[in-house]
Amino acid sequence: MGEHIHRKKHLTSFQFIILGFTAVIFIGTFLLMLPIATKSGQVTPLNEAIFTSTSAVCVTGLVVQDTATYWSLFGQIIILLLIQIGGMGVITVAASFALLSGRKITLMQRSTMQEAIAAPKVGGIVRLTGFVIKITFIIEFLGGLIMLPVFVKEFGLRGIWMAIFHSISAFCNAGFDIMGTEQSPFVSLASYVANPVISITIVLLIIVGGMGFLTWDDMRTNKYHIKQYRMQSKVILLTTCILIVIPTIYLYFAEFQTLPKNQRLLASIFQAVTPRTAGFNTTDLTLLSGVGRMLLIILMLIGGSPGSTAGGMKTTTIAVLFANAISVFRRKEDAHFFGRRIEQNTVKDASTILMMYLTMFLAGAFIISIIEKLPIGTCLFETASAIGTVGLTLGITTQLGVVSQFVLIVLMFFGRVGGLTLIFAALSGSGRKLSKLPQEKITVG
């Protein structure tokens, strides 16, 4: 017993985060396996329950059963709670209960909260967590309120639940929907391709959720004085704009030419935003060209921003790698943004994250392609969707066997928790060595 307590004291922030996510996934799995969770009253197989629970907690949106037609209201509520916990972060949700109960937050808990929302320092972390909780519920409430008239007009009183569900799912970048019917399951938001209220509201919720709470805190503090923003906030805002505008232009002129002009712009914006990392769609993605699918794969891998409800490699990771490449081309010693130098350790972390994501994304696709005898291009789309915690699919998720489902579960967990978090948790015991090995040059490129 004493040894157990001693070990518990030495759990790192990263290990707490991983254990928190794992615990919520298993609780969700148990609840989704209850007969009351399905409309038919049957017990959901373990592999399907754990897949759905992981997809919800890791705010991915890949499903093996249609959310609207398979799960009962109880099951849908459980899925929505898992999405909310996963989107805000397990540690943030736990901290919110501590704050509401008036308990004192220890230094260890503050450190864990700092890692969970990618804050730069421990100071002010309780205030920042309070801001995260407040802005989450305000934005989700407003999103639901705007969509409410459209859904109520179409579905009656059930429209209230539809508005709440889709607002939380969009803000948390989850991509779960309850639009399917027995005749046409897995339709996502295809029937709203021409509806500006639903399309624009969902897009704005995805962008707000995916930009990161630190960015919104910066914007709240400094308002319109952009020069006073932290370098990270400026990088996130610039990168987010580029990653929305360029794909929108491509999709408008190259992919959706069969749609009427008013629908084409809405569809292009929607499909440009949703791969990072929300997973809704208003058009049939199987009709995209090879280039269009490749663009979506790249967007899915990039994902949202640090400390947000989104997954993926993160916008800052890609921005740092580009800045480093530019510094190499210009023979500069350090990469920089907006008159600020980037630490070499940050560049190393970004390179490591890119390597890990690409390795797992490719390895997962190879495994699924070999096992399921599916085209590698389709499998790459599926694994990019899983590791980027997106939820878009070309329709193969429901056909996959248990081993392939397990591969996607691992990728979804990795994509939400983050590669560096897993590494730091696993290697927490190894201290930094002061001695260095002899140096020798190696030619690259």
Extents of the domains making up the chain: 10-425
3 pLDDT tier (thresholds 50, 70, 90): very low
Among 417, 340, 415, which residue's Cα sits nearest to residue 385? 415
Mean pLDDT of the chain: 87
Specify the higher pLDDT residue, 257 or 92: 257
Per-residue pLDDT at 424 exceeds 70: no
Confidence (pLDDT) at 206: 94
CB contact at 8 A, 304 and 206: no
Confidence (pLDDT) at 117: 60
Question: Between the CA atoms of 372, 373, 376 and 379, what dihedral angle is there, to the nearest 10 degrees?
Answer: -20
Confidence (pLDDT) at 114: 63
Q: 289 in the Ramachandran plot: left (φ > 0), alpha (ψ -120 to 50) or beta?
A: beta
Specify the higher pLDDT residue, 284 or 163: 163
Mean pLDDT of 235-239: 94
What percent of the chain stands above pLDDT 70? 86
Confidence (pLDDT) at 321: 95
Confidence (pLDDT) at 420: 64
Mean pLDDT of 292-321: 91
Mean pLDDT of 374-398: 94
**Considering only 159-173, 332-346, 349-363, which range has the smallest mean pLDDT?**
332-346
Alpha helices in 156-230 (DSSP H): 158-171, 196-210, 213-222
1 pLDDT tier (thresholds 50, 70, 90): very low
Per-residue pLDDT at 382 exceeds 90: yes
Confidence (pLDDT) at 120: 63
Beta pairing partners, 337? 340
Helix/strand/coil percentages in the chain, nearest 5: 65, 0, 30
Specify the higher pLDDT residue, 1 or 355: 355
Per-residue pLDDT at 201 exceeds 70: yes
272 pLDDT tier (thresholds 50, 70, 90): very high
Per-residue pLDDT tens digits for 69-109: 999 999 999 999 999 998 887 667 766 666 666 666 666 66
Per-residue pLDDT at 154 exceeds 60: yes
**Considering only 15-29, 151-165, 233-247, 428-442, which range has the smallest mean pLDDT?**
428-442
The pTM for the full model equals 0.89
67, 173, 270, 282 from 200: Cα distances, Å: 23, 15, 8, 12
- Structure tokens, 77: 């509520």
CB contact at 8 A, 337 and 231: yes
Whether the upstream peptide bond of residue 389 has omega within 30° of 0, thus cis, is: no
